[in-house]
Structures are given as C-alpha cells and as structure tokens.
C-alpha cells in the first residue's frame, strides 16, 4: 500500500496541493477527475473508474493538455507522470493563489464611565454592592 508520505520521498519536483476539476482522456473517452496536486512532472488525481497502471492518457485542465501515463493506482486515487515536464509558469497559472488569511482582531472593550439606569443601580445595590453581614 502506498501512502502519500512515501510517495513524496520519491518526488523530484515540488507539488502544489489543490482541489480542482480536471479530466483525463483515454481512447477518445473523457473521464472527469478531481485534481489533488500538480507539479511540473505529474499530478495526483481522484475519481471513479480510473484506468490501470501504465495506461497512456491525455490530462486536461482548462487550456492545459498534456500526454502522460498512469504511474500508480490506489483505490480512487492515481498518480500521473507527464510525458514531458511542464514549465513552472504553466503549473503556477493553474494553481489558485491562496486567499489571505484573516487575522482576528482581539481588542478589549474600552473602560468608560456611563450612567446606570435605575434598574441597573438597584441590581448593583442588591447583589453586588451589598455589604457583608458579620455575625
């Protein structure tokens, strides 16, 4: 069984994790897949009814169209090895830029004096400011 940590040890090119739709074409039949990651040398795809290891295919993502072969299959995931390396600029064009993370702004409420309503004053006198009874 192949896990992603052992697969990453054999990689020459840096892969960008993505989750986008793509397709593979075999013998004129197009199969929709999810693109999980992409590098200049290959891709990790996920889908149903994937072809067997060694199958020649055409990988398509938007205007990107690359010949390749299935390098491995594990359940509903497969690795594609491209026939030719993809230039890094072409890879980056198909990897969405990450959204900037919103940094939460933690601020204490300001301290300020305000007039208490009659009801708030009564509550305070009854529950908060009541002197302790000593016995």
Considering the entire predicted model, what is its pTM?
A: 0.59
pLDDT at 28 over 80: yes
CATH number listed for the domain at residues 4-93: 2.40.10.220
- pLDDT of 15 strictly over 70: no
Torsion of CA 106, 111, 117, 123, to 10 degrees: 80
- Identify which of 7, 14, 32, 4 has the alpha carbon closest to the alpha carbon of residue 85: 14
Query: What tens digit of pLDDT does each residue of 78-125 get?
Result: 999 999 988 767 766 766 666 777 777 777 766 667 788 888 888 877
Q: What is the DSSP letter of 48?
A: S
Under a CB-based contact definition with an 8 Å cutoff, are residues 81 and 10 in contact?
A: no
Across 15-19, 30-34, 62-66, the highest mean pLDDT is recorded for 30-34
DSSP label at residue 128: I
Locate the domains of the chain by residue range.
Answer: 4-93
What confidence category does residue 4 fall into, taking pLDDT thresholds of 50, 70 and 90? very low
| Contact of 36 with 20, CB cutoff 8 Å | no
């Amino acid at each position: 069984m192949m896990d992603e940590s052992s697969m990453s040890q054999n990689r020459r090119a840096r892969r960008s994790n993505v989750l986008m739709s793509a397709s593979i074409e075999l013998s004129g039949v197009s199969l929709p897949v999810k693109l999980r990651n992409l590098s200049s040398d290959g891709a990790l795809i996920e889908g149903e009814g994937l072809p067997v290891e060694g199958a020649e295919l055409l990988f398509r993502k938007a205007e990107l169209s690359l010949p390749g072969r299935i390098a491995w299959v594990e359940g509903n995931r497969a690795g594609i090895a491209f026939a030719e390396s993809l230039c890094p600029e072409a890879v980056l064009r198909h990897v969405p830029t990450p959204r900037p993370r919103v940094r939460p702004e933690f601020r204490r409420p300001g301290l300020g004096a305000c007039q208490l309503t009659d009801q708030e004053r009564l509550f305070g006198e009854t529950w908060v400011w009541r002197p302790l009874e000593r016995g």
